[in-house]
A = this chain, B = another copy of it.
Amino acid sequence: MTLKQIIEGTDTKTGRAFDLTIQILIVYSLITFSISTLPGLGETSQQFLHISQLVVVAVFTVEYLLRILVADSKLKYIFSFYGIIDLMAILPFYITFTVDLRAIRIVRLLRVFRIFKMARYIRAVERFGIAFKSIKEELVVFFGATFFLIYLSAVGIYYFEHVAQPEAFKSIFHSLWWAVATLTTVGYGDIVPITLGGKIFTFFILMIGLSIVAVPAGLLAVALQKSVRSISGK
C-alpha cells in the first residue's frame, strides 16, 4: 500500500479513511466559518474557533503538499481544477498575515471556497457537468434573451412609474432591480408599480417573461435525466 494509493485511491481502507477525514474537516471548517460570523461570540468561543481554523489549515496544507508529492505530473496537478481549489482552501489564511487590516474581512470570506473541495468526492458534480455541457448552446440563447427582456422591462417600467414614484424608480438602474425581482417571480414587494400603465405593462411583460425565465430549468431537467441515464447505463 503506497502513499499514492492512500491519497488518490479509494480501494484501500486507509484510502477511504483519508478521504472521509478530509470530508469531515471540510464540513467542520464550513460550520465553524459560519459560526465565526455570528455577532456577540464570547472570548472562549472565539479562541476555540481560532484553534479550529489553525488545525484545519494545517491538515489541508499537509494534504495539498502530499497531493503534489504523489502526483505523476506535479505541474499538471497544481494547475488542474482541483489543484487550484486545494490551494484556494488554504491561501486565504496565509494571506491574512500579509494584507492590511481592512481587506481581512473579504479574505476571510474566501474560506467559503473550501466547499468546492467537496466536489472531488461527489459523483453528482460530474453528472451536472455533463448535463450543463449538453445544453450549453441553449443556455447561452436563454441568458441573452433574459438580459434583453430584463433591460426592456426596466426601461418600460421606468417610463410608466418614474413620475409617480420618483424615489423607487429613480433611474433605469433602479428599475432593473424591480425587473429582476419581478421576472424571476421572486416579487419581494419592496418596489411595486402603482400606475395603471405600469400595472398593464407588468402583466404583458410577465406573460412573455414567464415563458423565457423558466426555460433553462426545463432544459436542465431533460439533460440531467439523460446524462444520469447514460452514466449509469440504464
A→B interface (CB under 8 Å): 30, 33-34, 37-39, 106, 109, 112, 115, 118, 122, 124, 127-128, 135, 137-146, 148, 151-152, 155, 158-159, 162, 166, 170-173, 176-177, 180-182, 184-190, 192, 199, 202-203, 206-207, 210-222, 224-225, 228, 232
Question: Do residues B213 and A210 form an inter-chain contact, with CB atoms below 8 A?
Answer: yes
Question: Do residues B224 and A222 form an inter-chain contact, with CB atoms below 8 A?
Answer: no
Residues in chain B near residue A128, CB distance under 8 A: 141, 145
Q: Show 30 A/B contacts (Cβ-Cβ < 8 Å), sorted by A.
A: A30-B151, A33-B172, A37-B162, A37-B173, A39-B171, A109-B159, A112-B151, A118-B148, A124-B140, A124-B141, A127-B141, A135-B225, A137-B232, A138-B225, A177-B199, A180-B202, A184-B185, A184-B210, A185-B186, A187-B188, A188-B189, A210-B214, A210-B216, A211-B216, A213-B217, A217-B221, A219-B221, A219-B224, A219-B225, A221-B222
| A223–chain B nearest beta-carbon distance, Å | 8
| A168–chain B nearest beta-carbon distance, Å | 12
A128, A151, A186 — which one has the most chain B CB atoms within 10 A of its CB? A186
Q: Report the bound CA distance from A109 to B145 in whole Å.
A: 20
**Given known A182-B186, A187-B188, A222-B221, contact A39–B170 (CB-CB < 8 A):** yes
Residues in chain B near residue A215, CB distance under 8 A: 217, 220-221, 224
| A220–chain B nearest beta-carbon distance, Å | 5
| A52–chain B nearest beta-carbon distance, Å | 16
| A184–chain B nearest beta-carbon distance, Å | 5
